[in-house]
Amino acid sequence: MDIINFRSENNTLIMTINESCDFRVVLECIHDRLKILKQNQTMHPPYVSLVLGKRVLKPNELLELIDVFIKEKVLLIDSIITSNYEEQKIEVVEGSIRAGQIMKFDNSVMVIGDVHDGATIIARNNIYIVGKLMGYAMVRSKRGKVVSAIYQNAIVKIFDSRPILLSSKNGDLLSYEHGEVVRNLVEEYKARRGDFNGAYYSNYLR
């Protein structure tokens, strides 16, 4: 099987990634393919769904994968599909969630942008924010996580925990433990937090 394969389905481009190939090799292959596509790009970037199969990505690996697409601006990610039980499907929201908006997701979600004060985002599994979390984020699953590059007076609730108020620029990963929300650090978010300002796709929002 090739490292990556493309097919079209219902006006959406599907990119299937070899689940057994080394992750670094996958990133290099995707980068090279996007470079070629960029040279021939003549229209608005199409949307693509990434199919990972049984591959399980850590938060920092997911960040790296998304970063390749963000920098090239050739394909816009619509969703990430995996057979991993905890994820199953990661829906992708490009652009910020504004005050007054309430967005709910059946599985996991990644926001490429900011979640503003007064905005609410709710997911069953995991919430990944490539930007600032300034509003309210809630995960319904006990095994769920919230990861954001920056927290600014953010309110976070996981499962049946008490909501916590958090301000941090350290790229914290929040998870559930013994009835409380606990903090861990995702180094890649901390190191590159200045890059994630919600402006990557400013010219390509749907």
Claim to verify: residue 3 and residue 39 sit in the same structural domain: yes
**Residue 85 CA: distances (Å) to CA of 3, 39, 81, 163, 196:** 23, 37, 11, 26, 28
103 part of a folded domain: yes
Structure tokens at 128: 């990944």
Closest CA to 109 of 125, 96, 98: 125
CATH number of the domain residue 184 falls in: 2.160.20.70
- What is the number of other CB atoms lying within 10 angstroms of the CB of residue 115? 30
Give, for all 206 residues of the chain, the pLDDT tens digit.
Answer: 689 999 988 777 899 999 999 999 999 999 999 988 888 776 667 889 999 988 888 888 888 888 888 888 888 888 998 887 666 789 999 889 999 999 999 999 999 899 999 999 999 999 999 889 999 999 999 999 999 989 999 999 999 999 999 999 888 899 999 999 999 876 555 444 444 443 333 333 33
Claim to verify: residue 189 and residue 163 sit in the same structural domain: yes
> Whole-angstrom Cα distance, residue 174 to residue 56?
18
Claim to verify: residue 95 and residue 74 sit in the same structural domain: no
Name residue 104's amino acid.
K
CATH number of the domain residue 60 falls in: 3.30.750.24
Range(s) of the domain holding residue 114: 90-195
204 part of a folded domain: no
Tell me the pTM: 0.79
Residue 151 has a pLDDT of 95
Count the domains in the chain: 2
Closest CA to 158 of 133, 122, 128: 122
Claim to verify: residue 33 and residue 75 sit in the same structural domain: yes
Residue 125 has a pLDDT of 92
Claim to verify: residue 97 and residue 32 sit in the same structural domain: no
Claim to verify: residue 79 and residue 109 sit in the same structural domain: no
Claim to verify: residue 131 and residue 151 sit in the same structural domain: yes
Residue 42 has a pLDDT of 65
Which of 18, 49, 84 delimits the end of a domain?
Answer: 84
Claim to verify: residue 178 and residue 161 sit in the same structural domain: yes
Please provide the DSSP assignment of the chain as one string: --SEEEEEETTEEEEEE-TTS-HHHHHHHHHHHHHHHHHT--SSPPEEEEEEET----HHHHHHHHHHHHHH-SSEEEEEEE--TTTSEEEEEESPBPTT-EEEESSEEEEES-B-TT-EEEESS-EEEEEEE-SEEEE-STT-EEEEEEEEEEEEEETTSPPEEEEESS-EEEEEETTEEEEEE-HHHHHTGGG-SS-TTTTT--
160 part of a folded domain: yes
Residue 111 has a pLDDT of 93
66 part of a folded domain: yes
Residue 178 has a pLDDT of 92
Claim to verify: residue 95 and residue 77 sit in the same structural domain: no
Claim to verify: residue 131 and residue 39 sit in the same structural domain: no
